[in-house]
């Protein structure tokens, strides 16, 4: 039984009814409908009642609830039957199909779309791009086929006016890889005629109402469907259908599927040609038939890519062969009208068949080899329009109802008759259940020499004038005693009104005039109509029936609750009639008395033998039947099974579910065991390969290492005696394993080479080297000219100002005696700012203990002395200028620009920074070096900035007062 539904919603499975009667069945069906439960079960058959409203039961969350679940683990739903068909296909590698049947307007088309949606959602978990493309095309094909094959009827706004059987092909992993669509019985008469309140096919209205103006102009189409004779009936109807939006959706779908722009344009031309064809009017001028609105002939010629005279000849003449002669015979105006309508129907049918064929060419499975890719399995979905009774019934309705008789016969044979016969054949005790077998109605239509098709074929092949009376007379003569046939002549008192004969179908009585336009057009279409009925019979009874017979069927039986499309109304008699002719009550009785599952003994053992120790891996019992008995007894299911001659019969699905659960558990354990053994084998093989490879790799590595070391030793053997101590020697390429070793060797060599160079230097030269290294550390990459290529003198005043050098020497000697400094680090002429914000020339002397500011004009009199421990950092700009700022702890920074260099333009900033930084480093003190522009500083406790600006026509650097500090203008080189 279905779980997760309380009894307030009725019985989810009709098999669980307390009493199997029509009253209880209908009461349960009505209760579930009123409670919003539109799906129910009869065993594995889904009964669906059209809710006539949108329901939030088809989203992703609902799909996840049914994915991988057994049929009765969740409440009844279309997704459950779709999942059951998918699992059967995947588990047993067997083709399956889902047959959706019911009256027109019962919800068959929507059911088929939801089933397709579910199958698309649960497949391709790995998101393979090709599988996603196939899924998308299969879903989009529905949109295109609905546009060209569906129409609004009085019963349904989106009624399928053709039969569709779609095969979805799956690979061995269960992912869709393609498909194929078979179409049956397109209702061609709808192209030229619709009942009051109905429309022609959606495609016409989508083109007229939704196409852009440019396209309509090229097709000579007006944006008003009432202008066109074939669709004006539907053009007056107000509907919720949005033809404009649907036109765009269909165009996008055709693009996704793979229709070219030229093909789509051709489709629009053909639709437009049919609309114009319906507006052709015929008149007579004496004995000559004429086209009254001849302007349309030119338009038709353009749209159909033919000459005007060809169009005119096709409309007004027919070709007749008399012996060896072929003559053109002119139509009467009435015959021309029928010929025009026949042409319109034929064009649309060929267009529809071409669209189906084009979709099949794109979605069919290509380059699939079962030997390489595994077996290609199929799920079929059949959606064919239901039984119909109209006021005026055409030949298409006759074929539709005949097709539904065949489907009902198939359902009876598979579900009722075949099941009971199988019980008898297998020797299972069984009480026969009566049911209505509609074979007698099928024979009425298709029986050779006596059926209606046979009479129609005979009428078509007769020579001479064929009339309604002759056809009716032939029917009455051959079918007078048939219980399901009557006519006006056979039953004069019967209320046939305007009909000529009536057939009592399984779903109701349907009355017909002779198939129009028999009396007027049979003589016109004799060559086309020969064996038409026979070909239809073969198409339905052979191709469709054989497809369904070859696959394991699952059923969705759709019920229409009322004729006014109300979501609240449940018409008891209307639904009761459908339950009766669908044979649902008989189906319940067979299910209650029968068995839910049956399998041959070998197949059952093949699937479940791992459950029992007596059958795994192979049994030694006398027969497979005994082995199955022992297995089921061990599981405790002997009370729920029966043993036939070749099959085991299991009564309830619960037993199957339990067997599947035990099998899944054992399969997991078996797989783990196999994985353990196989992984152990693979691991040992991999270990042996790795060990052998490791031995080879080690030997090779030793060889490469030794070779590399020998080569390094050979190349650097005599570097001590070389002039450049081996600087020119090229290092050999090391093996990967020695790359870090090579880096270490290079570092050792470089350190040795540097040591070799500097070991002979004097202490003064060593100080200079350390200062240059410090300069690189502080300024590399941040200033262009660091002065590293020249010798650093440090004390530049003697060179820059030779005329005053003696005075500077005396002052510096006095300062040395007074302050006890050991050496002069740096000296230079500078330009600085005084207390009055004016620039002055000064001299800077930096020793290992103090920084002195001197006045060169006053014999280098010391103006200011700053202990070096009070200096916290220096700042320089990134340009070529000689600006330097000495930052002090007391906020009285010294801002100077080096000047008066000899030679002119020599850069000494690198030397000053490096020398000072190296000295601080030797005394283990930190000197902060900043490279910035502008430079932030503090003068007399006040924060300010120093900006460097180039200036033309200026020979020496100079400071000026700026808005936020000072500007150092420097000459432009």
Show the beta-strand stretches assigned E in 15-133: 39-42, 45-49, 96-102
- Exactly one of 159, 393, 487, 775 is catalytic; name it: 159
Integer angstrom CA distances of residue 297 from 288, 292, 313, 614, 772 = 18, 10, 10, 83, 100
Burial class for 817, CB neighbours closer than 10 Å (0-12, 13-18, 19+):
exposed
Integer angstrom CA distances of residue 900 from 125, 126, 802, 896, 897 = 81, 79, 12, 13, 10
Cβ contact 845:852 at 8 Å:
yes
- Exactly one of 50, 112, 123, 160 is catalytic; name it: 160
**841 preceded by cis ω (within 30°)?**
no
- 54 contacts: CB under 8 Å, gap ≥ 6: none
Q: Mark whether 160 is an active-site residue.
A: yes
Q: Mark whether 550 is an active-site residue.
A: no
- 308 contacts: CB under 8 Å, gap ≥ 6: 297, 298, 301
Q: Mark whether 283 is an active-site residue.
A: no
- Exactly one of 44, 103, 388, 911 is catalytic; name it: 388
Sign, Cα dihedral of 671, 677, 683, 685: negative
Which residues sit opposite 871 in a β-bridge?
888
- Exactly one of 28, 101, 104, 123 is catalytic; name it: 104
Burial class for 682, CB neighbours closer than 10 Å (0-12, 13-18, 19+):
exposed
- Exactly one of 48, 96, 101, 109 is catalytic; name it: 109
Q: Copy the structure tokens of residue 449.
A: 């020499």
Q: Mark whether 958 is an active-site residue.
A: no
Q: Mark whether 464 is an active-site residue.
A: no
Q: Mark whether 105 is an active-site residue.
A: yes
Residue 869: DSSP 8-state:
G
- Exactly one of 156, 337, 476, 847 is catalytic; name it: 156
What whole-number distance in Å separates Cα of residue 359 and Cα of residue 353? 10
Q: Mark whether 386 is an active-site residue.
A: yes
What whole-number distance in Å separates Cα of residue 349 and Cα of residue 39? 35
What whole-number distance in Å separates Cα of residue 534 and Cα of residue 940? 117
- Exactly one of 10, 105, 594, 965 is catalytic; name it: 105
CA-nearest of 705, 467, 431 to 593 is: 431
Pairing of strands 824-833, 839-847: antiparallel
Q: Mark whether 109 is an active-site residue.
A: yes
What is the residue whose two structure tokens read 């991988």?
68
Sign, Cα dihedral of 532, 533, 539, 544: positive
Integer angstrom CA distances of residue 847 from 349, 793, 819, 821, 823 = 108, 13, 10, 7, 6
Cβ contact 655:599 at 8 Å:
no
What whole-number distance in Å separates Cα of residue 126 and Cα of residue 137? 18
- 382 contacts: CB under 8 Å, gap ≥ 6: 97, 98, 99, 100, 163, 164, 165, 407, 544, 548
Active site members: 104-105, 109, 156, 159-160, 386, 388
């Amino acid at each position: 039984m279905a779980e997760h539904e309380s009894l307030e919603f009725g019985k989810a499975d009709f098999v669980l009814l307390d009493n199997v009667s029509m009253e209880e069945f209908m009461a349960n069906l009505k209760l579930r409908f009123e409670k919003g439960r539109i799906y129910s079960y009869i065993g594995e058959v889904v009964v669906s009642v059209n809710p006539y409203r949108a329901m939030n039961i088809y989203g992703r969350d609902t799909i996840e609830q049914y994915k991988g679940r057994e049929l009765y683990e969740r409440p009844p739903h279309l997704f459950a039957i779709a999942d059951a068909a998918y699992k059967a296909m995947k588990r047993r590698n067997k083709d399956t199909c889902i047959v959706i049947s019911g009256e027109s307007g019962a919800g068959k088309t929507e059911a088929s779309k939801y089933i397709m949606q579910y199958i698309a959602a649960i497949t391709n978990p790995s998101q393979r791009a090709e599988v996603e493309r196939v899924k998308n095309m299969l879903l989009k094909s529905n949109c295109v086929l609905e546009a060209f094959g569906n129409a609004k009827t009085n019963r349904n706004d989106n009624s399928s006016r053709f039969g569709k059987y779609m095969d979805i092909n799956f690979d061995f992993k269960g992912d869709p890889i393609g498909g194929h669509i078979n179409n049956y019985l397109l209702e061609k008469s709808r192209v030229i005629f619709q009942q009051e309140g109905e429309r022609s096919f959606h495609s016409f209205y989508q083109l007229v109402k939704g196409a852009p103006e440019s396209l309509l102009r090229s097709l000579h189409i007006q944006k008003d469907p009432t202008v066109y004779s074939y669709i004006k009936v539907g053009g007056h109807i107000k509907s919720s259908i949005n033809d404009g939006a649907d036109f765009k959706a269909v165009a996008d779908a055709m693009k996704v599927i793979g229709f070219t722009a030229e093909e789509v344009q051709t489709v629009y031309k053909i639709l437009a040609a049919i609309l114009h064809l319906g507006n052709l009017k015929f008149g007579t001028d004496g004995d000559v038939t004429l086209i009254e609105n001849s302007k349309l002939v030119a338009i038709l010629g353009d749209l159909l890519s033919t000459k005007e005279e060809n169009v005119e000849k096709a409309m007004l003449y027919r070709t007749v062969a008399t012996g060896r002669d072929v003559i053109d015979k002119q139509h009467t105006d009435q015959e021309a009208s029928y010929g025009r309508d026949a042409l319109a129907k034929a064009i649309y049918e060929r267009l529809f068949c071409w669209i189906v064929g084009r979709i099949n060419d794109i979605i069919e499975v290509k380059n699939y080899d079962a030997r390489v890719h595994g077996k290609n399995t199929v799920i079929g979905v059949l959606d064919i329009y239901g039984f119909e009774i109209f006021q005026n019934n055409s030949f298409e309705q006759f074929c539709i109802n005949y097709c539904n008789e065949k489907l009902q016969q198939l359902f009876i044979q598979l579900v009722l008759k075949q099941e009971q016969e199988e019980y008898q054949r297998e020797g299972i005790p069984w009480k026969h259940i009566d049911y209505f077998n509609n074979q007698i109605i099928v024979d009425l239509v298709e029986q050779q020499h006596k059926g209606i098709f046979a009479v129609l074929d005979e009428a078509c092949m007769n020579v001479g004038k064929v009339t309604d009376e002759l056809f009716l007379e032939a029917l009455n003569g051959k079918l007078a005693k048939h219980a399901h046939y009557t006519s006006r002549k056979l039953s004069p008192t019967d209320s046939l009104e305007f009909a000529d004969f009536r057939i009592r179908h399984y779903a109701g009585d349907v009355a017909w005039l002779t198939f129009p336009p028999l009396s007027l057009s049979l003589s016109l279409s004799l060559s086309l109509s020969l064996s038409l009925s026979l070909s239809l019979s073969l198409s339905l009874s052979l191709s469709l029936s054989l497809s369904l017979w070859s696959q394991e069927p699952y059923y969705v039986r759709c019920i229409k609750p009322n004729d006014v499309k109300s979501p609240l109304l449940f018409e008891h008699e209307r639904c009761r009639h459908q339950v009766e002719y669908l044979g649902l009550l008989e189906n319940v009785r067979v299910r209650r008395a029968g068995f839910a599952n049956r399998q041959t003994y070998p197949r059952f053992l093949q699937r479940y033998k791992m459950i029992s120790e007596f059958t795994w891996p192979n049994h030694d019992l006398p027969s497979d039947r005994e082995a199955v008995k022992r297995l089921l007894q061990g599981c405790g299911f002997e009370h729920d099974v029966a043993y036939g001659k070749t099959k085991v019969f299991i009564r309830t699905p619960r037993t199957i579910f339990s067997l599947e659960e035990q099998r899944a558990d054992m399969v997991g354990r078996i797989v783990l065991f196999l994985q353990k053994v196989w992984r152990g084998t693979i691991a040992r093989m991999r270990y042996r390969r790795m060990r052998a490879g490791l031995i080879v790799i080690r030997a090779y590595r030793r060889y490469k290492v030794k070779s590399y070391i020998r080569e390094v030793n050979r190349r650097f053997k005599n570097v001590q005696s070389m002039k450049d101590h081996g600087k020119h020697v090229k290092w050999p390429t090391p093996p990967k394993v020695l790359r870090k070793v090579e880096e270490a060797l290079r570092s050792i060599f470089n350190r040795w080479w540097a040591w070799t160079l500097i070991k002979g230097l004097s202490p003064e030269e060593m100080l200079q080297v350390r200062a240059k290294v410090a300069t690189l550390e502080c300024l590399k990459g941040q200033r262009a000219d660091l002065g590293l290529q020249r010798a650093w003198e440090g004390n530049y005043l003697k060179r820059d100002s030779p005329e005053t050098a003696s005075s500077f020497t005396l002052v510096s000697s006095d300062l040395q005696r007074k302050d006890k400094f050991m050496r002069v680090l740096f000296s230079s002429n500078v330009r600085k700012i005084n207390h009055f914000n004016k620039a002055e020339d000064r001299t800077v002397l930096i020793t290992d203990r103090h920084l002195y500011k001197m006045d060169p004009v006053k014999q280098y009199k010391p103006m200011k002395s700053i202990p070096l421990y009070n200096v916290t950092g220096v700042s320089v700009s990134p340009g070529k200028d000689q600006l330097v700022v000495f930052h002090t702890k007391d906020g009285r920074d010294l801002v100077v620009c080096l000047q008066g260099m000899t030679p002119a333009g020599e850069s000494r900033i690198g030397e000053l920074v490096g020398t000072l930084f190296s000295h601080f480093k030797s005394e283990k003190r930190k000197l902060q070096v900043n490279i910035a522009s502008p430079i932030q500083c503090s003068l007399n406790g006040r924060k300010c900035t120093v900006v460097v600006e180039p200036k033309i026509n200026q020979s020496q650097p100079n400071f000026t007062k700026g808005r936020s500090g000072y500007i150092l203008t420097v000459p432009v080189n």
